[in-house]
Chains A and B, each alone.
Chain A
């Protein structure tokens, strides 16, 4: 038995799964203190399913917590960036392409020092330990405890980043360091951005992991817990503390995979309507379609592999303004069950309008009986238009596509969607995210250097792919489901023997027999 939990901005969902069967699913509001919401969800789930906590084998968590922190510029630790690059790169200093407010919430601390590599491995300039030490002292004196270190061509040679990290560690006790080569691929700005975002999330990662641990402890659950990352695979708690940025966009991945699982469809458009926003993505052969350009998170460009998702401000908690008519993007969020009219509050939300339209019996319908038919009709028109436009935007062909509607807010979909062959709302649609987390995939990674004077490139790639596949299967993936999702080559021309760094990632479904 596995538990999947999704902590969203509005709701915390929990599901219990026995193999491929959904045994139970519950939904509770997210709380400002994450622990409380998770505990409540677990209590409700356990009560509903009569589960003994000793039967739980694993707990899988998906959360938008870290993404939201960056988007909302909250809980971000003051962070310094050290770039090893001078005299190169000074035209575009670290964080140059960031929104001003995000840069200042990190404190706008960056330092360029001498060093870095040429593409052929030569030095741009000599690495100067004294210079790094001087910078480290300044950072330490400013009381900053989070540091990102980048270096030109560090994916080819990480030595200078590691040297700098060692010096910073000596100078600043208790410092948290992210080196860019550990987190990104070639392309200095994007890799440095990812490392910097990761560094500023460190404290929050500690707190969040602790909150989850506390919640599970409180429920006497001793099973291991994992968090899902953006490629749909799992990582353990220690890894999350080290690399919180890898959880980015795991929400849409989970909902799309959950939708595929619940509906049995492999090629379809998934619309996940939450409390505040809706996400639309495409499933292709059962996998979320990956974005093929740099992805912006809260205005920061990174080169992570992420599902290509279009988000827009429509959800079950979206606030409706009557004159002139406006639906969203403002939302009552997790306060829907306090502030919504049908729940006794005084804010008109999309959920209230749906209740007034008579398609859903949620809360106290008498509280919206006085809404005019005209306003109900106009809001439904607007919702229909918002959905149609966004679906059209994400469709990959002119033909009608099957649509899977998931998420608690998908009760807003009461009209046919133009361009959709059929709209399917599978059982447990409201908890697709948590189900996606529970059925998270298992990955196998290879990252090593091949000597291409001894073997052909094809042989090396085949070997790396096979090795990654084997690793995925060893970690519990169903062999027939394993696919290669990423292949990356970096020629290391400074090494003899036509050396090439080959990175392959294989991903497969968790075997669930």
Chain B
């Protein structure tokens, strides 16, 4: 157990933006909300997964929708708590801890606000080790935990309770509701017992995000190369350095979809890279060849400062480095690939682990 300080949260937010693989929503807004909650309600305790008893109930609180909406329509703050409380009263069992459904992006921070205002501990884990665009893409699904009962709420005071036959249906229903709610909504779902959590959780991800943030900060302070520092701390690979020459972004079907095109610089001069995204980066294609695909992580960083850049913040002319990072091992199991392989997203290519793709291209 440890208490989270404002500096811990700053570092976590920076690291979470790397794990957000371009999506997950800009943690900046989540960070501000978390810091506000900390100042108002006091510090938040963070527990290891092992500190949770088997019969305890742990629930993630999150924002769903398009990051392009979240940077404009900031939450009222009440909707997240109402989603969380509604779920607790429906389950009829006390919820004893909060967790992050995805350590990448904004949702690394949302549970901190809930934990502070409800005086609950936060668990140092998540259900992805990154960010993914769809509700069913969590280790909870791999280990047979149902997404429902799920609650979803908006800033207007609307809320809904969803029960579905499987987690794919949860995605379908909740996405329709989120679109009606304006393209973003606050949710509570995937109630799991401590026993289940010990099996399914991607452990230590909040600390890992913090570690990445600290590393970037230290690299900047020591005038060393922050991009390289991110690559090292994530066991990642440098895939490309280039200039953004085109960025296409649309908010459709409740997602921010599009592609970024880069022209190579430095050792990549003459090469081109395309990165496709659905909230998160899905694939990186260099000169017609896949160099990284989901479920591995693809991050775009400022070439000099190592600052992660989310898809909604990418602009024409930016000079960036692209890093590929291996995903949590469970995503590479058949059940994980069923949920998040490139084919699921419509790419006619089998998943090849990033380290193998890199070895092949060398």
Contacts and interface: CB of A to CB of B under 8 A. Distances in A.
A289 interface: yes
Interface residues of A, number: 47
A96 B28 CA distance: 12
A97 B155 contact: no
B250 A491 contact: yes
A125 to B, nearest CB: 7
A188 B68 CA distance: 11
Nearest to B303: A396
B19 to A, nearest CB: 17
A188 B309 contact: no
Nearest to B69: A119
B317 A397 contact: no
B290 interface: no
B71 A188 contact: yes
Given A125-B156, A293-B307, A389-B223, A186 B72 contact: yes
B130 interface: no
Contact of A124 (B71, B182, B220, B307): B182
Contacts of A389: 223
Contact of B75 (A89, A122, A290): A89
Interface in A418-461: 457
B155 A491 contact: no
Interface stretch (B29-37, B54-62, B194-202): B29-37
A325 interface: no
Interface string B165-189: 0000000000000000011000000
Given A119-B183, A289-B319, A491-B251, A153 B72 contact: yes
A188 B72 contact: yes
Contacts of B66: 119
Interface stretch (A66-74, A405-413, A481-489): A481-489
A394 B304 contact: yes
Contacts of A314: none
Contacts, number: 123
Given A88-B76, A124-B182, A393 B33 contact: no
B73 A92 contact: no
Interface string A304-338: 01001000000000000000000000000000000
A119 B178 CA distance: 12
B182 A122 contact: yes
Contacts of B320: 292
A186 B68 contact: yes
A376 to B, nearest CB: 26
B8 interface: no
Interface in B33-75: 33, 36, 66, 68-69, 71-75
B36 A92 contact: yes
Q: Say which size band chain B's interface belongs to.
A: 35 or more
B207 interface: no
Contact of A488 (B29, B309, B315): B315
B348 interface: no
A152 interface: yes
Given A88-B73, A292-B302, 18 more contacts: A85-B74, A91-B33, A92-B32, A96-B32, A118-B182, A120-B183, A153-B72, A189-B74, A284-B319, A290-B317, A292-B309, A293-B309, A301-B28, A393-B220, A489-B247, A489-B248, A491-B251, A493-B251
Interface of A: 85, 87-92, 96-97, 116, 118-120, 122, 124-125, 152-153, 186-189, 284, 289-290, 292-294, 301, 303, 305, 308, 389, 392-394, 396-397, 457, 484-489, 491, 493
Interface of B: 28-29, 32-33, 36, 66, 68-69, 71-78, 155-157, 182-183, 220, 223, 246-251, 266, 302-305, 307, 309, 312-313, 315-320
By Cβ-Cβ distance, the 3 closest A-B pairs, closest first, are A91-B77, A118-B182, A292-B318
19 contacts: A90-B78, A90-B155, A91-B75, A92-B33, A92-B36, A96-B36, A116-B73, A118-B69, A119-B68, A187-B312, A187-B313, A284-B319, A289-B319, A293-B313, A393-B220, A393-B223, A396-B304, A491-B249, A491-B251
